[in-house]
Amino acid sequence: MTSEHQKRDEHNFVLKASQLLNTQWKILEQREKPDFIIREDARTFGLEVREIFLNENQDKGGSSIKQTENHRSKQLERFARSFEKKSDLALHVRLLRKSGAGNVSECELKELHEALTAENLERRETGYQTQFLLRCGTKVWVTKEFHSRWYILNDRVGWVSQDPIELIQAAINTKGKKLDTYRNNAGLGP
């Protein structure tokens, strides 16, 4: 199951790919297996989005780093839903944590809650921006917006392989095994 933030990221990846390929893709549908149904001129096709990570291991459920990032993301997502439900706010919150900080601690979330509450964001105009440093060393940027977006900046950046061809080919091979399923689900037949 793909989370809302993953779906939003995938949508942005498709738009950026279309731009970089100098095409005019129209997203007809965002879904699963394949992730998108796309129209380009008179052609319709299914598009599967796949992120690739340096240390992923297909036999053991993928990248251990990505699994840890997903865990942190879910921790923050639960906190965000709870905070925004109680406060009736939509916030764009970015956290920059100390290197090697591990999972998000209850203490860190408590400090974040206290700092956000102290900002009286309910009384601020949409577009209001602030930043602060939590006692645990996490730097936080907050913008009051119309849509909620919370993420840990450390998990959005990483090392880039200088020779990614083997990683890319392995991902293509894995997805290629599901090609008939993607074609059938997209209504394009085998």
pLDDT at 100: 73
Q: What is the pTM of this model?
A: 0.54
pLDDT digits (tens, 9 = 90+) for 124-137: 999 999 999 999 89
Q: Contact at 8 Å (CB) between 87 and 115?
A: no
Q: Contact at 8 Å (CB) between 153 and 94?
A: yes
